[in-house]
């Protein structure tokens, strides 16, 4: 598993929207209230039955009251779906903020550890050099050169002794310089090591915060999906009931009730046919799965940006990109299929600020993959769903901080990012 340790420390998350500052701080009272409303309503909605609708048709006043009631229920369902989606978007932003803070701390921790190791190596090398010079001094100064110089009778002998004395003086100075270098490097290594310990502790706190924010985002996304499903199902019935009440030519509602059942049946068939078509498309494509159980998530795409430091740039009307890109960008036409890079559980599927529409899959063992900028309405799976390698999960888009159609493909190990290209090649898959 390749993990970049130098250039990746340049900055934090590659996809950051300046107007959205991610955080794991306390949620607002409104957000909490909305979260409680979406996930656990304080009361159960009393929807009218078909019997209620049939009885109301017999009395004009009762019919009008029931029409107003149903219209109100339909409007409330739409409002609740909007609120649930907004809350899921907010929780997604909060999760990504927490993740960005963890990424920054992770990069800082690794940078300090690398610097401390380099300083310690420098100190060790200087210490070794100082020891060698000390040994050389000991060998050269076996007798007292100063006394010998005073006792020397000949000019030639005195010159030789002076030369030796000068050499020893240089060795002493050199040894002193090396010792000071070794001491400074050792002190620097200790200081950096102490900072690394503090940074690692902070990183772990942020990891926990990111995990908590991830769970909150997942719960909100699941609640939004559930609310949407309830709204679609219930709105179908309510709309048919409303039509039955407003139809003055019909005396019974049995035909409308049967129509709702038939519509539900046809929609089920359509979903099954769509799933079968996606499976047939994947089979026709001949999904190439490596022995390690991985595949290219966007076949026939080309790499438009790689993992690592890059120059910030501004997208008009959207925001600034980050100076470190945490992914490999796979460019393909909007609407192109995006496949699960490996089997796992969908842990997030929804809006996520700079990522636009984001899908995250947990593959187990601390490894996860993420797919950003997905097409609006392009999700083929939902939160909590198990997906198999090569399964259609979404469509390429250009949402969020994107200048064109592509999928931002991330790989994370233990929460931290790593370069997807060597990671995938280690598993027998080549991107682009």
pLDDT digits (tens, 9 = 90+) for 362-419: 998 889 999 999 999 899 998 888 888 888 999 999 998 888 999 999 999 888 889 9
pLDDT at 133: 65
Q: Cβ–Cβ contacts within 10 Å for residue 323, how many?
A: 16
Q: pLDDT class for 330, splitting at 50, 70, 90? A: very high
Tell me the mean pLDDT in the region 22-34: 31
Percentage of residues in the chain with pLDDT exceeding 90?
Answer: 19
Using an 8 Å Cβ cutoff, are 14 and 327 in contact? Answer: yes
Tell me the mean pLDDT in the region 236-258: 79
Q: Is the dihedral of CA 298, 300, 303, 304 positive or negative?
A: negative
Task: Set out the domains of the chain in order of their start, with CATH numbers.
Answer: 15-252 (1.10.287), 288-432 (2.70.70.10)
- At residue 149, does pLDDT exceed 80? no
Using an 8 Å Cβ cutoff, are 263 and 71 in contact? Answer: no
**φ, ψ (nearest 5 deg) of residue 192:** -65, -35
Tell me the mean pLDDT in the region 231-242: 81
Angle at 215 between CA 213 and CA 219, to 5 degrees: 120
Whether the predicted model's global pTM rises above the 0.75 cut = no
pLDDT at 21: 33
Q: pLDDT class for 163, splitting at 50, 70, 90? A: low
pLDDT at 358: 92
pLDDT tens-digit map of 254-267? 777 788 788 878 87
User: What's the mean pLDDT when you consider all of the chain?
Assistant: 75
Which among 40, 64, 99 is positioned nearest to 246, based on CA atoms? 64
């Amino acid at each position: 598993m390749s993990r970049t340790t130098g250039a990746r420390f340049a900055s934090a998350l590659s996809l950051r929207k300046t107007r959205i500052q991610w955080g794991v701080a306390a949620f607002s009272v409104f957000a909490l209230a909305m979260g409680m409303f979406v996930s656990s309503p304080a009361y159960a909605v009393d929807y009218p039955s078909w019997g209620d609708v049939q009885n109301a048709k017999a009395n004009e006043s009762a019919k009008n009251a029931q029409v107003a009631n149903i219209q109100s229920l339909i409007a409330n369902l739409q409002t609740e779906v909007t609120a649930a989606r907004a809350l899921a978007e907010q929780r997604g932003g909060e999760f990504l903020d927490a993740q960005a803070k963890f990424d920054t701390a992770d990069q800082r921790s690794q940078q300090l550890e690398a610097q401390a190791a380099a300083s310690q190596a420098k100190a060790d090398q200087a210490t070794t050099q100082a020891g060698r010079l000390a040994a050389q001094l000991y060998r050269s100064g076996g007798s007292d050169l100063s006394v010998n110089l005073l006792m020397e009778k000949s000019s030639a002998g005195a010159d030789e002794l002076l030369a030796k004395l000068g050499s020893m003086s240089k060795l002493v100075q050199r040894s002193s310089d090396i010792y000071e270098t070794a001491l400074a490097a050792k002190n620097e290594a200790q200081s950096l090591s102490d900072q690394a310990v503090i940074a690692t502790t902070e990183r772990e706190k942020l990891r926990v915060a990111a995990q908590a924010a991830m769970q909150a985002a997942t719960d909100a996304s699941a609640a939004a999906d559930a609310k949407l499903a309830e709204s679609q199902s219930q709105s179908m019935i309510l709309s048919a009931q409303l039509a039955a009440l407003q139809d003055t030519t019909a005396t019974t509602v049995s035909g409308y009730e049967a129509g709702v059942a038939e519509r539900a049946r046809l929609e089920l068939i359509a979903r099954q046919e769509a799933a079968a078509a996606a499976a047939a498309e994947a089979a026709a494509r001949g999904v190439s799965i490596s022995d390690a159980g991985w595949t290219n998530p966007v076949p026939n795409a080309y790499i438009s940006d790689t993992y690592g430091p890059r120059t910030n740039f501004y997208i008009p009307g959207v925001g600034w990109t980050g100076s470190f890109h945490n992914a490999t960008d796979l460019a393909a036409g909007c609407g192109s299929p995006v496949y699960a890079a490996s089997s796992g559980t969908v842990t997030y599927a929804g809006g996520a600020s700079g990522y636009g529409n984001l899908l995250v899959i947990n593959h187990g063992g601390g490894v996860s993959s993420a797919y950003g900028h997905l097409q609006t309405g392009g999700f083929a799976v939902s939160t909590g769903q198990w997906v198999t390698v090569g399964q259609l999960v979404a469509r390429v888009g250009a949402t969020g901080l994107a200048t064109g159609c592509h999928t931002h493909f991330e790989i994370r190990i233990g929460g931290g990012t790593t370069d997807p290209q060597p990671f995938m090649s280690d598993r027998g898959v080549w991107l682009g």
